[in-house]
């Protein structure tokens, strides 16, 4: 049975996404399908490339209880989840950065530390085709940047140092071998 997620080794993961010209029923259906696949894999985000599409869209459902600041308060009050982000573009980011372990559905069971800006400002189209601007902090900001990387053909491995790549070489080879053995 084919995996619903494109894993490391699949060339579509390196493709840069194509802007969505118009938000149609098909795009909304794609977003719904992506959410279904993401939930089935216990993820919090998924980019179109991860299911073999090249439209500039990603979906997120960041749990509110996982996205709190040091005082236990929500980082992004008023931001409802799940959301689809169409033609997303970061238009601002903080100078302050944070390092945190990231996983990726396209790299099963691999977690590596990644440094990213702590806050971002994202411009995107919503499911109705309206332009929105979102100020995001914490885990939401990190998830946005991770999924936007996918839309630009940037993968988790690209954030790894040579030493980290060496450390995880066996696991990476295993993922690629699994992909090739399935005839993908």
Residues with catalytic function? 147
Say how far apart CA 151 and CA 16 lie, in whole Å. 6
3-state SS string for 106-140: CEEEEEEEEEEECEEEEEEECCCCCEEEEEEEHHH
Say how far apart CA 50 and CA 18 lie, in whole Å. 14
Structure tokens at 8: 């490391």
**Nearest partner of 45 among 55, 53, 57, 54, judged by Cα:** 57
**Nearest partner of 45 among 159, 141, 160, judged by Cα:** 141
DSSP helix/strand/coil, 65: helix
> Peptide bond preceding 82: is omega within 30 degrees of 0, i.e. cis?
yes
């Amino acid at each position: 049975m084919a995996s619903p997620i494109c894993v490391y080794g699949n060339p579509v993961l390196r493709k840069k996404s194509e802007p969505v010209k118009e938000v149609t029923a098909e795009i909304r259906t794609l977003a719904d399908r992506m959410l279904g696949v993401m939930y089935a894999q216990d993820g919090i985000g998924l980019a179109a490339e991860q299911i073999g599409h090249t439209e500039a869209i990603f979906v997120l459902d960041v749990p509110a209880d996982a996205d709190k600041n040091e005082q236990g308060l929500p980082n992004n009050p008023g931001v409802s989840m799940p959301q689809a982000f169409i033609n997303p573009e970061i238009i601002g980011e903080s100078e302050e950065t944070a390092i945190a372990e990231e996983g990726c559905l396209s790299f099963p069971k691999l977690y590596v530390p990644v440094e990213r800006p702590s806050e971002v400002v994202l411009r995107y189209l919503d499911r109705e085709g309206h332009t929105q601007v979102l100020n995001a902090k914490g885990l939401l900001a990190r998830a946005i940047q991770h999924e936007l990387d996918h839309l630009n053909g940037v993968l988790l491995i690209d954030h790894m140092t040579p030493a980290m790549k060496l450390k995880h070489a066996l696991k990476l080879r295993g993922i690629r071998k699994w992909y090739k053995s399935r005839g993908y």
